[in-house]
A and B are shown apart, each in its own frame.
Chain A
């Protein structure tokens, strides 16, 4: 079974400051990991994914995440926040070969960007 913990349900950053969203996972097998973003009243958009290749993964909109097996973490970062980054972010895990391609999501982190 897999699980995901996102530390901090709300994060407030100033425009231009570093964005850091924390995600820790639990998986009995090497996982695939994803970050999704959800804007108000919309579905989820895939930001990036880790599937056992490079541990530093670059995604869309300037985001990147680093897979650290020893820390069971997959934190999301962006060097400089933009007002358009205000949204809710979800970390998700699945196991390669898992029946049903089930994604297990964390509880989400809502990002507020202050001008």
Chain B
């Protein structure tokens, strides 16, 4: 079975631009979560979506938004990019919510110049 997939693998953007990252969960999983991992740190929770509804939001500015589609795939959008947004963005899928295991994709490496 395919694991969590993310696209693109890498991208480079300029300050002030907008970016869209994509994630496809494991087949049968209905929940997708997004995490930001800055170099040298642990991942930080951004969002969780379950059945197309936002179920949780971390301490990130409104420049960050996300959505989940009927096929349970998800997009993370970041507007007005800052240098500090440079990070590995990880998507995780799980069958349900509240304590179920989360399985991570390989991540998208975003560099903002």
Contact present for A101 and B41 (CB under 8 Å): no
Interface residues of B (CB under 8 A from A): 4, 31, 33, 35, 41-45, 47-48, 50, 55-58, 90, 92, 94, 96-107
Measured as residues with beta carbon below 8 angstroms from the partner, the interface class of chain A is 20 to 34
Interface centre among A94, A98, A101 (most CB of B within 10 A): A101
Residue of B nearest to A107 (CB): B42
Closest 9 CB pairs of A and B: A100-B56, A105-B42, A43-B104, A44-B104, A100-B48, A32-B99, A102-B45, A43-B106, A96-B99
Interface residues of A (CB under 8 A from B): 4, 32, 34, 36, 42-46, 49, 51, 90, 92, 94-108
- Give the complex CA separation of A44 and B43 in angstroms: 10
Interface centre among B4, B47, B48, B90 (most CB of A within 10 A): B48
* Interface contacts beyond A100-B55, A101-B96, A103-B43: sample of 12 additional A-B pairs, CB < 8 Å, sorted by A: A42-B107, A43-B104, A45-B104, A51-B99, A97-B99, A98-B56, A100-B57, A100-B97, A101-B100, A102-B48, A102-B58, A105-B42
